[in-house]
Amino acid sequence: MNKVKRALGLMSGTSMDGIDVALLETDGERILARGPAMTFLYNSEERARLAVALIEARAVTERRQRPGSLAEVEREITIRHAEAVAEFLRAHGIARDMIDVIGFHGQTVLHRSEAGLTVQLGDGALLAELTRLPVVYDMRARDMELGGQGAPLAPVYHRAIVAGIAERPLAVLNVGGVSNVTWTGADGSLLAFDTGPGNALIDDWVAATTGNPFDEHGRLAAEGRVDEAVVASFCAHPYLALKPPKSLDRNAFSLGAVHGMGAADGAATLTAITAETVARSKVHMPEAPSLWIVSGGGRRNPTLMQMLRERIGAEVVRAEEKGLDGDAVEAEAWAFLAVRSLHGLAITYPGTTGVTAPATGGIYVEPAKV
């Protein structure tokens, strides 16, 4: 079997922004070529249905349960992903038979690592039928079955993309719905965990107080005043003191800390909370990183980026400054993980999820023969 594969990664993750699609050519160990990437934004109706799904998912006690509207939303999400694949291939003039596999994340609606429970909406078999392509999905479950947290999974890809960067140790920080960091040492050793809130609290606050889905370019936060006492109080949350491995659900934290504030002050304070919880994550690292590379939607927020620089006290750069595509990193990671899964290579490690030993994972499904 030819080890080199052209894989599509599909990532929606904990964010309710939309679907990231990226093309990667890899053998599961080396990145041979990074192809184009696109983002397909959810519309307001889709985001509203996902918001309801997040609430309904709280009743789930077994990962295959789909109470309320979850089954219907799962089908809709899967169809939406298939449409994104078709549009991506059409936009870039890529023939379907040039793609070997799809790495399908799905939409996370529940993640309770302490209960060994994670739920991503997305029907891999249906996606395979709709796209007529092989799919690897449900990549978190086996890790949890083996005692891991089921997250984060991108660290093995993060290590691969920074292979040509000299600074060590360094951190790859992804600011999505939650924030997660991958620490890479001089010897290639990995440590990874969720640091705390990412964009989720900021987005929820801005939506509730202004009706906008997010704080575009951090303008609202820039107009506000940070309440440092609230930031310090938030940072007393027990999760932040836990040693890695550790991971979070998007809704692990509430907006209670900023209740009663004006829109701008609340946005500023929540942005500072995201930055401060990232900065405090250094206490769990063997050595403080000399360089932080930021991917995900948070890197588009200049107010957050400035707060990260001030509070971390080291070089903090957008992924693009190191030749990477900050919108595509997580989708590329899922393409990379799909190929590793095909080859039986480890996708999680004791230092990233707490799994007892390096483990592969994922479910492989092919479309029915016609």
Classify strands 18-26 and 5-11 as parallel, antiparallel or unpaired. antiparallel
Average the pLDDT over 30-58 and give the result: 94
Q: Containing domain of residue 258, as a range?
A: 155-322
Q: Is the pLDDT of residue 14 over 80?
A: no
Answer whether 326's CB lies under 8 Å from 294's CB.
yes
CA dist 83 and 61 (Å) reads 31
Instruction: Share the mean pLDDT of the chain.
Output: 94
pLDDT at 91: 98
Check whether residue 105 and residue 173 sit in a common domain.
no
First to last CA, the chain: 23
* Overall average pLDDT of the 203-232 stretch: 97
Shared-domain flag, residues 164 and 303:
yes
Q: Is residue 353 part of a domain?
A: no
- Tell me the mean pLDDT in the region 111-139: 94
Can you list the alpha helix ranges (DSSP code H) found in the chain? Answer: 44-56, 70-91, 124-131, 141-145, 155-161, 200-210, 219-223, 228-234, 238-241, 263-280, 302-312, 329-342
By percentage, how much of the chain surpasses pLDDT 70?
A: 99
In this structure, the answer to whether residues 114 and 144 fall within a common structural domain is yes
pLDDT the model gives residue 1: 58
Quick one: pLDDT at residue 215?
Answer: 97
Residue 251, pLDDT score? 81
Whether residues 223 and 115 share a domain: the answer is no
- Which residues make beta-bridge pairs with 174? 180, 295
Instruction: State whether the Cα torsion 226-230-232-237 is positive or negative.
Output: negative
Domain count, the chain: 2
Q: Considering the domain boundaries, does residue 333 fall inside one?
A: no
Task: Report how far apart, in Å, the C-alpha atoms of 345 and of each of 117, 136, 141, 151, 340 are.
Answer: 23, 13, 16, 17, 5
Could you tell me which residues come within 8 angstroms of residue 285 by beta carbon, excluding any fewer than 6 positions away?
169, 171, 183, 191
Q: What is the mean pLDDT of residues 141-166?
A: 92
Q: Are 361 and 348 in contact (CB under 8 A)?
A: yes
Indicate whether 86 and 184 sit together in one domain: no
Please give the pLDDT value at position 173: 96
Q: How confident is the model at residue 370 (pLDDT cuts 50, 70, 90)?
A: low
Q: Decide the pairing of beta strands 117-121 and 190-197.
A: unpaired
Instruction: Give the number of other Cβ atoms within 10 Å of residue 308's Cβ.
Output: 26
Q: CB under 8 Å to 215, separation ≥6 — which residues?
A: 202, 203, 206, 221, 267, 271, 301, 303
Q: Answer yes or no: do 225 and 94 share one domain.
A: no
| pLDDT of 163 strictly over 70 | yes
The single residue listed with the structure tokens 């050793």 is 189
pLDDT at 241 over 70: yes
Provide the whole-model pTM: 0.88
Token pair recorded at residue 178 = 């939650």
Q: What is the distance between the alpha carbons of residues 18 and 4, in angstroms, rounded to a whole number?
A: 29
pLDDT value, residue 144: 92
Helix (H) or strand (E) holding 121: strand 117-121
Q: What is the CATH number of the domain that holds 72?
A: 3.30.420.40
Where does the pLDDT of residue 152 fall: very low under 50, low under 70, confident under 90, or very high at 90 and above? Answer: confident
Residue 343 located in a structural domain: no
Range among 41-45, 308-312, 348-352, 366-370 with highest mean pLDDT value:
308-312
Confidence of residue 284 (pLDDT cuts 50, 70, 90): very high
Q: Are residues 38 and 130 in the same domain?
A: yes
Q: What are phi and psi of 61, to 5 degrees?
A: -120, -10
pLDDT at 268: 98
- From 157, 133, 118, select the one nearest 81 (Cα to Cα): 133
- One domain for residues 131 and 161: no
CB 36 within 8 A of CB 23: yes
pLDDT one-digit tens code per residue, 56-115: 999 999 989 999 999 999 999 999 999 999 999 999 999 999 999 999 999 999 988 888
One domain for residues 14 and 144: yes
Q: What pLDDT is stored for residue 176 in this prediction?
A: 87
Mean pLDDT confidence for 349-369: 94
- How far, in Å, CA of 66 to CA of 64, rounded? 6
Q: Is there a contact between 12 and 20 (Cβ–Cβ < 8 Å)?
A: yes
Please check the confidence at residue 13 and state whether its pLDDT lies above 90.
Answer: no
For residue 344, which of 20, 10, 29 has the smallest C-alpha distance? 29
Tokens representing 319?
Answer: 């992924």
56 in any annotated domain: yes
Among the ranges 47-61, 91-105, 157-171, which has the highest mean pLDDT value? Answer: 91-105
User: Is residue 353 very low, low, confident or very high in pLDDT (cuts 50, 70, 90)?
Assistant: very high
Same domain for 282 and 255: yes
Q: What percent of the chain has pLDDT over 90?
A: 87
- The pLDDT of residue 292 is 98
